[in-house]
Amino acid sequence: MTQKLRPEDMSREEKQPLVHLDNADLMPLPFPLDGPAKDHTWAQLSLQAKEKYECILDDTCAVNVPQPKSPEEERELVGRFLAGLDKLFTRENNWTFLQPLVLSMEHCARCQTCAAACHIYEASGNAELYRPTYRSEVMRRLYFKYAKHGGLLSAWQHGDIHLNWPLVARLIELSYRCNLCRRCAQTCPIGADNGLVAHELRKLFSQEMGIAPKELHDKGSMLQLEVGSSTGMNPIVVKDNIAFIDDDTTERTGVEVETPWDVEGAEVLLIHNAGEIMAWPENPGAFALVLNAAGIPWTLSSDLAAYDAINYGLWYDDVQLARVAIKHAEAAKKLKVKKIVVGECGHAHKALAVIADRILTGDLNIPRESSMTLLRDIVMSDRLRLDPSRNDFPVTLHDPCNLVRLMGVVEPQREIVQKICPQFREMEPHGVDNYCCGGGSGFAIMSGNNFQDWRFHVAGRKKLQQILTAFSDCLGPETPKYVCAPCSNCKGQIRDMLAYYGLWDKHRILYGGLVELIVNAMVDVRPGYIQWEWH
Amino acid sequence: MTAMVYGVILASILVFVIGSVARAIRYARQPIHLRWELYPVPHADPRRVQHGGSYFEDVDWWTRPKEFNLLGELRFMVPEMLFMKGLWDFNRAMWVRSFPFHFGLYLAIGTVKLLVLVLLLDILAPGLLAGTVGLAVHWVYTITGIAGVILAILGAILLLIRRLTHEDLKTCTTPGDILNLSWFVVAFGCLLMGFLLRAPDSPGAVAMLRAILFFDSSVRIPGLLVVGLILSALLAAYIPFTHMSHFIAKYFTYHAIRWDDRSLRPGDRIEKKLAEYLTYRPTWSARHVGADGAKTWAEVVTRNPAEARKK
């Protein structure tokens, strides 16, 4: 049921969630998931989680903040939050985003235009808690009261808020109920950015309080900086795995594939999301085959972090973001490559090509480009012999937000699928108006407690609706269908949702990357690179 | 008393100007942030703007000339500034209320500017605006002034009703919001009624403006108009200190954030500024950051916290 919360409800002392969602409350889905009864029942948060962690926001718990043991500890945590809030608004600590943050704090007209653009708000059945401005409004009141030291007049003008530990605990969780897709910001008449507010809150919690989901920090950026990849692969393991992928690709395609490592002076340093190597080996295999066939001098790097394009700092921590981006650039500098090309990973595109553009100065400023454009040039220049009839099945294209709305790489991937997929159909809306897959900002790799239930029912619901609508004319199991998602995290989220709702089993909706479609159409390759089996 | 009224009006306008400039300077002096653009960026190559593409769509994009299509920006900015196209596209129900309000303000501000121009011409070239031309100009500012004030009042009332009655807006409406809109209604209401109900021998708008600017207390401005002028002037002075100064913010949110797709070029101004920022000394407290107020940003981000974890 939709509950009209107010910002001040975040301070409620009782250790109870502010909202509870049922399937009947959610945005309806089309056939075959039409009707709440056809949806899954939500898994409940375990009693242990409720007793151990601060799970007082909604039906789930993403961050697992331990409950303070005493009022003193609560006060200390609130004090640390306040210290972080101050730092967020100083140039020495937050030169990286100070200007956009201050503008968003000081100029929201609260017109709620952004709400209609938010897939989470819409999918939740317009639950007030997930309204894009709800989180921002809490933050804005804290800003005027504590960072600007506003008095009664300020409270009267901007609204008051009571700061206590329950509010901070809820705000930690609430900063992880936004995909940071910034679709809301795109519609704001003034240019305020609620996605940025969620991003900055995450930074405050991480950089000041050391609080972040373990999937992003301990098992994410820290593991990457420690062993080289968030997958846990060190350079020896990754080389072994790639060698295996080369063998497998050679066997499947009949084309000899060998991945070059650490080639000095190569034109291209390709950096994959290492998750591809572990979960979708056909993707790095296809890249190797295509680049070799196109005659491009390329290499992978086995330096620390340089064989894994992920950069989770993008979602929660500027310092970690900069550290990983620097590792990527240092590897390219060492190999004296002409450019870095980012594989099929949306957030890695944005992190390395866009955001890090103002981190990588001097000789670290090595040109960086998208694999979408490189692949487009290869396909459109007819360097490969392609037979579109090999891809004669319904294909739709998911637009990763980081690649499209936030980087402007829209057409290259379309030109490819339009050329090699005769039954290509767009999702609506698409391009820069796309909807997030629901896995954005780290959610795709976050499955603690029952978080994935929230991720499927709420965050991913709009994308699911789009996929089902795009294939509404061919939903029968006799027609295999392909959701092309040129991004690892999006692919993970779409995989998980299709499995959760049984859409492969019952309706033969498969998912995969873009480069696999290219290899599948290559005349010089054995037919059937795309294997119609669940993986 | 009259001089004091004039003083309040002129001082309020001065506060508005100083407050607005100070706010703009405060934003302009903030550091160049990490890139955070949103596509489409209208100054991109026109072939790309249509689908929201960027120069990143080209292979070896850094070898190509920089794209900056001023016409593309204007094509976006003019409908946005004049007709609030964004709100029209994304929130039609709000546009119906907000557009008359803002367009009314534009007309009212335009009227004041026109009056200043007429007064200047009257001083510098007496007789230039005599006869038919003068009459035409008189009717122009009379019509734009009245229409502007009426539209602004209508819009403010509609916005106020929406704020107080619509479920989505009620929850985050503050007393300040109600005051702001009410202030417009009352101030402009007084102006309108004061003008419409003025005595036949009351001074004209140009004469009143001359009196205010030159502290001429011999001109008798009708009481209700005086109240309207003072309330409007105080409102103008108040605006730069509220979120209503978004006419300043919007320049930065669009040009410095949403559309700032400048790539870093060796030795350019951005790189020099970044070199300065990297000498800042952050004090973030989380252990993995490793900031202590002594290390610079450059030192912090080139340190690998996992090395310490390994040991």
**Which of A103, A222, A406 has the CB atom closest to B309's CB atom?**
A222
For chains A and B, CB pairs below 8 A equal 273
Q: How many CB atoms lie within 10 A of CB B74?
A: 13
Residues 6+ apart with CB under 8 A from B182: B156, B160
The residues that bridge with A270 in the sheet, in sequence order, are A341
SS3 A511: strand
> Residue A399: which of A483, A460, A331, A330 has the closest Cα?
A483
CA separation for the pair A320, A330 (Å, rounded)? 15
How many whole angstroms from its chain centre is CA B158? Answer: 21
CA separation for the pair B85, B81 (Å, rounded)? 8
CA separation for the pair A206, A202 (Å, rounded)? 6
The residues that bridge with A268 in the sheet, in sequence order, are A298, A339
Q: Where are the alpha helices (DSSP H) in A312-370?
A: 313-316, 318-335, 346-349
CA separation for the pair B169, B269 (Å, rounded)? 43
Contact assessment for residue A43 and residue A21, using Cβ atoms and an 8 Å cutoff: no
> Which residue is closest to B25 within chain A, CA to CA?
A99
Contact assessment for residue A194 and residue A107, using Cβ atoms and an 8 Å cutoff: no
Query: What's the token pair of residue B60?
Result: 């070896």
Q: Is the C-alpha dihedral spanning B39, B45, B51, B54 positive or negative?
A: negative
**Best mutation target, B253, B263, B310, to test chain A (most A CBs within 10 A):** B253
Q: Which residues of A179-197 are buried (b: 16+ CB within 10 A; e: fewer)?
A: bbbbbbbbbbbbbbbbbbb
Pairing of strands A509-512, A298-299: unpaired
CA separation for the pair A329, A335 (Å, rounded)? 10
CA separation for the pair B289, A318 (Å, rounded)? 10
Assigned CATH class of A226-376: alpha beta
Contacts of A102 in chain B (CB under 8 A): 27, 30
SS3 A377: helix
Give the total residue count for chain A: 535
The letter for the amino acid at A249 is: T
Helix (H) or strand (E) holding A397: strand A395-397
Q: Is the C-alpha dihedral spanning A423, A429, A430, A434 positive or negative?
A: negative
Residues 6+ apart with CB under 8 A from B174: A156, A157, A158, A159
Task: Find tokens 């003193």 and name the residue.
Answer: A72
**Where are the domains positioned within chain B?**
2-30+84-241, 278-310
Q: Which pLDDT tens digits describe chain A residue by residue (535 residues)?
A: 445 899 999 999 999 999 999 999 999 999 999 999 999 999 999 999 999 999 999 999 999 999 999 999 999 999 999 999 999 999 999 999 999 999 999 999 999 999 999 999 999 999 999 999 999 999 999 999 999 999 999 999 999 999 999 999 999 999 999 999 999 999 999 999 999 999 999 999 999 999 999 999 999 999 999 999 999 999 999 999 999 999 999 999 999 999 999 999 999 999 999 999 999 999 999 999 999 999 999 999 999 999 999 999 999 999 999 999 999 999 999 999 999 999 999 999 999 999 999 999 999 999 999 999 999 999 999 999 999 999 999 999 999 999 999 999 999 999 999 999 999 999 999 999 999 999 999 999 999 999 999 999 999 999 999 999 999 999 999 999 999 999 999 999 999 999 999 999 999 999 999 999 999 999 999 999 999 999 8
CA separation for the pair A371, A343 (Å, rounded)? 5
**Which of A226, A354, A409 has the CB atom closest to B35's CB atom?**
A354
Helix (H) or strand (E) holding A341: strand A339-342
How many whole angstroms from its chain centre is CA A146? Answer: 32
**Where are the domains positioned within chain A?**
7-208, 226-376, 386-521
- Looking at CATH, the fold of the domain delimited by B2-30+84-241 is given as Fumarate Reductase Cytochrome B subunit (1.20.950)
Query: What's the token pair of residue A145?
Result: 């009261």
**Which residues, given as ranges, of chain B have pLDDT below 50?**
none
Q: Please report the pLDDT score of residue A2 as a whole number.
A: 47
Residues 6+ apart with CB under 8 A from B242: A157, B176, B180
Q: Please report the pLDDT score of residue B171 as a whole number.
A: 86
CA separation for the pair A146, A159 (Å, rounded)? 13
**Which of B44, B98, B167 has the CB atom closest to A4's CB atom?**
B167
Contacts of A131 in chain B (CB under 8 A): 168
CA separation for the pair B153, B181 (Å, rounded)? 9
Q: Please report the pLDDT score of residue B236 as a whole number.
A: 97
The letter for the amino acid at A292 is: N
Q: Please report the pLDDT score of residue B310 as a whole number.
A: 65
Q: How many CB atoms lie within 10 A of CB A417?
A: 23
CB-based contact B54 A187, cutoff 8 Å: no
Q: Where are the alpha helices (DSSP H) in B242-291?
A: 246-251, 269-277
The letter for the amino acid at A407 is: M
Three-class secondary structure assignment of A458-507: HHCHHHHHHHHHHCHHHCCCCCCEEEECCCHHHHHHHHHHHHHCCHHHHH
CA separation for the pair A289, A270 (Å, rounded)? 13
What number of H helices and E strands is found in chain B? 14, 0
Task: Find tokens 């897959």 and name the residue.
Answer: A437
**Which of A192, A355, A408 has the CB atom closest to B41's CB atom?**
A408
Q: Which residues of B42-61 are buried (b: 16+ CB within 10 A; e: fewer)?
A: bbbbeebbebbbbbbbbbeb
The residues that bridge with A271 in the sheet, in sequence order, are A342
The residues that bridge with A395 in the sheet, in sequence order, are A424, A482
Q: Please report the pLDDT score of residue B67 as a whole number.
A: 83
SS3 B249: helix
CA separation for the pair A493, A445 (Å, rounded)? 8
CB-based contact A189 B91, cutoff 8 Å: yes
Contacts of B57 in chain A (CB under 8 A): 373, 408-412
Q: Residues 203 to 262 of B: which have CB under 8 A from any A CB?
A: 242-243, 245-246, 249-250, 252-254, 256-258, 261
Q: Which residues of B250-272 are buried (b: 16+ CB within 10 A; e: fewer)?
A: bebbbebbbbbbbbbeeeeebee
Query: What's the token pair of residue A311?
Result: 């950069």
CA separation for the pair B121, B133 (Å, rounded)? 12
CA separation for the pair A489, A257 (Å, rounded)? 26
Contacts of A217 in chain B (CB under 8 A): 288
CA separation for the pair B80, B260 (Å, rounded)? 18
Query: What's the token pair of residue A179?
Result: 């995909």
Cβ–Cβ contact B34 with A under 8 A: yes
Query: What's the token pair of residue A509?
Result: 């909706």
How far apart, in Å, do the first and last CA atoms of chain A sit? Answer: 36
CA separation for the pair A320, A356 (Å, rounded)? 12
CA separation for the pair A344, A492 (Å, rounded)? 12
Give the total residue count for chain B: 311
Query: What's the token pair of residue A110?
Result: 């609260």
Q: How many CB atoms lie within 10 A of CB B89?
A: 14
**Which of B62, B249, B306 has the CB atom closest to A367's CB atom?**
B62
SS3 A53: strand
Q: DSSP string spanning A224-276?
A: HHHHS-TT---HHHHHHHHHHHHHHHHHHHSS-----BS-TT-SEEEE--HHH
| DSSP-based helix, strand, coil % in chain B, nearest 5 | 70, 0, 30
Q: Please report the pLDDT score of residue B129 as a whole number.
A: 82
